[in-house]
Amino acid sequence: MPITFNKQNMTFTINTENTTYQMAVVEYGLLTHLYYGQRVKNGTDLTYLLNRYAAARASTYNEIPYEEFEKGAARLCPQARFQEYSTFGIGDRRTPCLIGRFANGGGTIDLRYHSHKIIHSKPALMGLPSVYANENEKAHTLIIKMKDKAEKLFVELYYSIIDGHDMIMRSQKIINKTGKPFFINSALSFNLDIRRSDLDLISLYGKSNNERYMDRAPLKHGKFSTDSTAGATSNFSSPAFMVCEHNADEEHGECYGAVLMYSGNFVASAELDYNDRVRLTMGINPTTFNWKLKNNEEFTTPEVILGYTDKGIGQLSRNYHDIIRYNVCRGKWKKEQRPVLTNNWEATVFEFNTDKLVEIAKDAKAFGVDMLVVDDGWFGHRDWDNTSLGDWYVDKKKLPGGMEDLCKRINDLDMKLGLWFEPEMISEDSDLYRAHPDWAIKVPNRAPMRSRWQYVLDITRQEVRDYIIDMISKVIGCCPIAYIKWDMNRNITDAYSLNLKADEQGEFYHRYVLGVYDMFEQIIERFPNLLIESCCGGGGRFDAGIMYYSPQIWTSDNTDPIHRLKIQYGTSLFYPISTMGAHVAYAPNINTYHNATVLQRGVVAMAGTFGYELDPMHETEESMAQMLKMTQLYKKHYFTINHGDYYRVLSPYDQQTVITRIDAWQFVSKDKKSALLSIVQMDNVNDPNEIFIKLKGLDPNKNYKLFAYSDGLENTRPFKSIIKEEELGVFSGEVLMKAGLHYSLIRGDNRTSLIEIDEVE
Ligand code: DGJ
């Protein structure tokens, strides 16, 4: 059995295919973490880890449970012990998971084992996104119930696994039976204590237009934490990290990962203590959280997906990709081929009308596009970003025949129509605001902050959510709208709800996130076939929580392919390619003026949910023909890209040799019959040097035929960009992986190659 309880030594063991997690109930019902790492044999008793380690590390200043006082034994000292779920007030000085106050003001929470059960399913989390098992998959869950020593406060610890995934999902239910309110100050989703100090932390940071850059540094004594207080996950940080051995690389080394399924204020911390032990934590950010848990109420923490591998960072990423795309993403679009879209934002901004949109769609159809997405500006009188949010009805000046007419004309082209919304927001200049000024959040007697001229709706209130969802549903339901882009363009300030009492205002941010999830759920229930792409001023709400509702997310407003390399590399550490919105945009790029070739823009957009964001009117016949080629290539390799394995081959973060910096990545189909290699030179090259790129993930016993599409130039004035196609020959998988593919750098600026790799008998 994958989850077992051993009565003799009171251990719980969770086995996935390649990992083992063990904890024990020791004296006085204390629950102690023992081990998380490489799989060990069934029945292995790891309790010796507690004895040896804890006894050696305790010191005079460490508290011990009062029951032990007489004996003076140090092995149960909370500070020395590995905690499974740490609480505040009992002497564990590392970051606790649970901090709270009982009605008498006391803040000591001393949890002891109460009972447990093992069930063979994966329960969903009330009101929150969570990993689920598919019909053909077996899931198992261990629920350990803990009880406070003095009060009737219970915490249920959930550990779930799904056969075939090397992942453990953790969350907790805090249950108040004390007869009085219990005030939660912090309820993190997990702590993991690791018995070593020689670890690097890999985390993500960024800003608008440059989200999810990778950072890697050795852990230092003390605590590193990254968080959000923006109301959403934010452009600045990400609720996902890894710790790995110093010399771990894509193929080698032990790595632990944690990915939180939450889309609001979070905190993630990694702490190396004076005893050279590491504690990882992640969960709702306590800085903006206070929850009054009334008697008989429960509070559920968001779910965290824990992963471990001894096979390097690449393997850990692929494990996350699999569980997220198949057990987090839902609905028909998780498996079905998604339409290639063109979005009019960078093409027109707010200046468009029905005829213009139809013209864009028609021209884009010529290069294989399946769907037109009408971005911001089709509603109210939104000619600029200072008006009309909340007025989700068609601007007849722009679309005189209404949405029905636009939709019909697009459908007549045999294309689909998608629409942009920003459901959580309200403009001061809107009918909605004039009717319901109190729906915009603000603290009484204070002028609220504006951002992009707009306010945030109080979607902690059911009536506000229902009203907005009804309004949006009318538009989506009036004609066959196939897709919506759900944007959120400002961070939250002035958090306050007129629906909450003074001592409940600390609940606002979490209730806001629950409100967002409820709105998504309502839309999905009403329109189960709708493809939803979420967005947040670029990639500011890119997390595994939102992926439960929307299988693709706009990765960043930065559409420059060279800038995108680092963004997409960082994002790929945890999140699958199928979730990353990526478009071929103008060259020169509207933000950076970088003049990338169609091939380069296409290859980079193919490492995501390939689409376009330009007005074809400005394209030459030649570039339109190249775009058609890119769309065809993407469609041809759709399943390898979106459902295969992803390998990072070279890194855009490496300052490579004097020759040039190169980024390269690979998609390999699960049966290893076909693969796709993308190579992007990040500099201007003047010297066609040759390099050897070692491929990954192929079958060493198969032979593969290689065919390349590369940037070339015709030496005319001005230069003419061409896509050169050539057969590279047949090679064995073994040779390609061990000796490497011979690649000649291409003279010019940021040249690119796409190489098809197909098995030959
Ligand atoms: C921010 C998004 O990231 C853009 O793609 C675009 O939809 C704008 N909002 C529209 O306001």
pLDDT in tens, 648-669: 999 999 976 656 689 999 999 9
Q: Which one-letter DSSP state was computed for residue 118? A: E
**Is the C-beta atom of 100 inside 6 A of ligand 1?**
no
Q: Could you give the CA distance from residue 260 to residue 190 in angstroms, rounded to a whole number?
A: 10
pLDDT for the residue 73: 57
Predicted local confidence at residue 51, as pLDDT: 61
To test the ligand 1 pocket, which listed residue (532, 554, 586) has its Cβ within 8 A of the most ligand atoms? 554
- The dihedrals phi and psi of 257, each to the nearest 5 degrees, come to -130, 155
65 preceded by cis ω (within 30°)?
Answer: no
- What pLDDT is attached to residue 70? 58
Supply the pLDDT for residue 74: 63
Name the residue at shortest CA distance from atom 10 of ligand 1.
376
What residue owns the CA closest to ligand 1's atom 1?
Answer: 537
Residue 637 φ/ψ, nearest 5 degrees: -105, 15
Q: What does the buried/exposed string (b/e) look like for 360-393 if buried means 16 or more CB atoms within 10 Å of the residue's CB?
A: bbbbbbebbbbbbbbbbbbbbebeebebbbbbbb
* Rounded-to-10 torsion of CA 516, 521, 523, 527: 160
Peptide bond between residue 718 and the one before it cis (omega within 30 degrees of 0) = yes
pLDDT at 106: 97
Nearest residue CA, atom 9 of ligand 1?
537
Residue ranges of the alpha helices (H) in 138-177? none
| Whether the CB of 542 sits within 6 Å of ligand 1 | no
Is residue 554 within 6 Å of ligand 1 at its C-beta?
A: yes
Atom number in ligand 1 closest to CA 554: 3
Helices marked H in 161-279 — which ranges? none
Whether 457 contacts 392, CB under 8 Å:
no
Q: Judge if the beta carbon of residue 37 lies within 6 A of ligand 1.
A: no
| 376 touches ligand 1 (CB under 6 Å) | yes
Task: Determine if ligand 1 sits within 6 Å of the CB of residue 211.
Answer: no
Q: Give residue 371's pLDDT.
A: 98
Kindly give the distance from the C-alpha atom of residue 538 to the centroid of ligand 1, in angstroms, as a whole number: 6
Q: Which residues of the chain have pLDDT under 70?
A: 51-64, 68-75, 656-660, 715
If one residue of 487, 552, 612 were mutated to test the ligand 1 pocket, choosing by the most ligand atoms within 8 A of its CB, it would be: 487
pTM (two decimals): 0.97
Whether ligand 1 lies within 6 angstroms of the CB of 487 is answered as yes
What are the distances in angstroms from CA 36 to CA 20, 27, 254, 374, 718?
A: 6, 21, 11, 48, 60
Question: Quick check: CB of 518 below 6 Å from ligand 1?
Answer: no
Determine the residue type at 733: G
pLDDT attached to residue 718: 73
CA 658 / ligand 1 centre spacing (Å): 38
Probe target for ligand 1 pocket from 535, 550, 583, with the most ligand atoms within 8 Å of CB? 535
* pLDDT at position 56: 46
Q: Is the distance from the beta carbon of residue 421 to the nearest atom of ligand 1 less than 6 Å?
A: no
Å from CA of 41 to ligand 1 middle: 52
Active-site positions read 487, 557
Q: Choose one of 208, 345, 348, 533 to mutate for the ligand 1 pocket test, by most ligand atoms within 8 angstroms of C-beta.
A: 345
According to the model, what pLDDT value does residue 422 have?
A: 98
Does residue 540 have its Cβ closer than 6 Å to ligand 1? Answer: no
Main-chain phi, psi angles of 518, to 5 degrees = -65, -40
3-state secondary structure 613-674: ECCHHHCCHHHHHHHHHHHHHHHHCHHHHHHCEEEEEECCCCCCCCCCCEEEEEEECCCCCE
In this predicted structure, what is the pLDDT of residue 712? Answer: 86
**Residue whose CA is closest, atom 3 of ligand 1?**
538
Is any ligand 1 atom within 6 A of the Cβ of residue 535? yes
Predicted local confidence at residue 687, as pLDDT: 77
Q: Is the CB of 539 under 6 A from ligand 1?
A: no
Predicted confidence at residue 349, as pLDDT, reads 98
Dist. CA 378 → ligand 1 center (Å): 13
Domains and CATH numbers, the chain: 3-50+83-327 (2.70.98.60), 340-554 (3.20.20.70), 645-760 (2.60.40.1180)
Distance in Å, CA 542 to ligand 1 centroid: 14
The Å distance, Cα 583 to ligand 1 centre, comes to 13
Atom of ligand 1 minimally distant from the CA of 538: 3
Q: Please state, as a whole number, how many other Cβ atoms lie within 10 Å of the Cβ of residue 671.
A: 10
- Ligand 1 pocket residue status of 422, Cβ below 6 Å: no
pLDDT at 165: 97
Q: Which residues 6+ apart lie within 8 Å of 215 measured at CB?
A: 201, 202, 203, 204, 205
